[in-house]
Amino acid sequence: MSARREQRAPVDVATLPHWTQVEVRYGDLDVQGHVNNAVYFTYFEQGRVSFFSELRRLGQAGGRDSASSAGDRGEPAEVTLSPADITFVIVSASCRYRQPIVGLAPVYVGVGTGHVTHATVELRYAVCAAPRGMVFATGETLLASVDLATGRPRALPLWSREGLAQLIGA
């Protein structure tokens, strides 16, 4: 495992731009009294949904100022990410567990971006006791933009590129 890890820059928690509070549910804890390992990916997901909602809000605000491209003209105007809007699929996901989450206090999920291509976005996550505070876990997901009708890759939607530009200068 060590060779692999040295290849990658670890998630830099201090620079993650977007933070979301996530409730720890009683049922998230397993027999060991810790939040179950699979649930961390649900926490990432909660952070991701919030992150994309923010991207969309920023991207649409930016899009109204600039000339909008033809490919995005049909997109709905609302800023809330409804599940049906999701046109990304998850290619891979990973998590490194540092400290177990043992109580029911809420946690905070930080989200930022890693490598971005014309059709993929790597997201990086941290689950902390407070924004940029004590780290329970870090992780990554690689997302690909797809055409839901055909399942084939397509360019990232304009709102996400505009939003990324606003949020992190990407």
Residues that bind a second copy (CB under 8 A): 1, 3-4, 7-8, 22-23, 25-27, 29-33, 36-39, 41-42, 45-46, 49, 80-84, 86, 89-97, 100, 103-105, 115, 120, 122, 141-142
Distance CA 100, CA 107 (A): 12
Nearer Cβ to a second copy, position 64 or 152? Answer: 152
As measured in angstroms, the least distance from the Cβ of 78 to a second copy is 11
As measured in angstroms, the least distance from the Cβ of 145 to a second copy is 14
Which has the closest alpha carbon to 20: 101, 104, 158, 130?
130
Which has the closest alpha carbon to 166: 73, 82, 88, 62?
62
- Tokens 């329970």 sit on residue: 136
Sign of CA dihedral 140, 83, 160, 65: negative
Nearer Cβ to a second copy, position 91 or 170? Answer: 91
Nearer Cβ to a second copy, position 15 or 105? Answer: 105
As measured in angstroms, the least distance from the Cβ of 45 to a second copy is 5
Sequence-separated (6 or more) residues with CB below 8 Å from residue 50 = 18, 20, 109, 111
As measured in angstroms, the least distance from the Cβ of 37 to a second copy is 5
Distance CA 120, CA 70 (A): 20
Nearer Cβ to a second copy, position 17 or 100? Answer: 100
